[in-house]
Structures are given as C-alpha cells and as structure tokens.
Amino acid sequence: MRKEYYFQSKNPECLEQYIGEYPLNSILVTTLETNRDEGYGMVSRAPEPSVRFRDFLGLDYPRKVVTIEPVMDFDLDEFLGWMLMLKDQGSLEYVWFGYNSNLDKVQLPEPRVEKS
C-alpha cells in the first residue's frame, strides 16, 4: 500500500522552509476559497487569497493540490486562471471543491450553482 502525506496550510509561505525535507510521497496543499481579497478579512484571519495563491505558485515543489472549500463567490476567469497557472507549472495534481457544510453556523457569499 502506497502512502501519501499531505502538508496543508492557509499560509503556504510557511511550507517553503521545508522544501527539500518533505518525503518524496508528499503533496503540498493550500485552500483558496475565492480569488477576491475585498472583505476577506471579515471571514478569515488567513492571508488574503491573492497572497496565498502567489506564495503557493512560488513554491518550488512538484506536487500540489488546491482545496476550494468552502467555496465563496469568485470571478470565474481570474480564479480559473489561477488554477491554470498552477497546472501549467506542472505541479497541480487536482482541485477539491466543496460548499459550506455549516450553513446554520456560518454564512458565506457562495456562488450560484451554475457558476461552479
């Protein structure tokens, strides 16, 4: 049985210090709920999405995954462009996508179903 290790952070810059030390069967992961920075500080204390994307893109690592969960409304062309940049870099293996599962506790600006 092959095992894989996931190292995930909403602050991908912190993953950089360990490049070269991750086991070969490791994948680096970050969460990008949206591409929109405006108002993001009202829902999270994580770095703004554009900062996370830029830092994640800058990681020199061959295996990456993005989680878009819980998804917030986004600008399709720009957000898709981010994923394509990671894919073109040759490092993006897949994207996990999910809606908010705590609707009774957390209200987020979600996209229309048609958009996702």
Task: Please choose, from the candidates 106, 11, 95, the residue with its C-alpha nearest in 3D space to the C-alpha of residue 59.
Answer: 11
The answer to whether 76 touches 70, Cβ cutoff 8 Å, is no
Task: Please choose, from the candidates 28, 34, 36, 25, the residue with its C-alpha nearest in 3D space to the C-alpha of residue 70.
Answer: 34
Q: What is the tally of structural domains in the chain? A: 1
How far is 51 from 115, CA to CA, in rounded Å? 24
* CATH code of the domain covering residue 47: 3.30.750
Sign of torsion over alpha carbons 39, 42, 46, 47: positive
- Does residue 17 lie within any of the structural domains? no
pTM above threshold 0.75 = yes
Give the tens place of pLDDT for each residue, 63-99: 999 999 888 889 999 999 999 999 999 999 999 987 6
Tell me the backbone φ, ψ of residue 29, rounded to 5 degrees: -135, 140
- Does residue 97 lie within any of the structural domains? yes
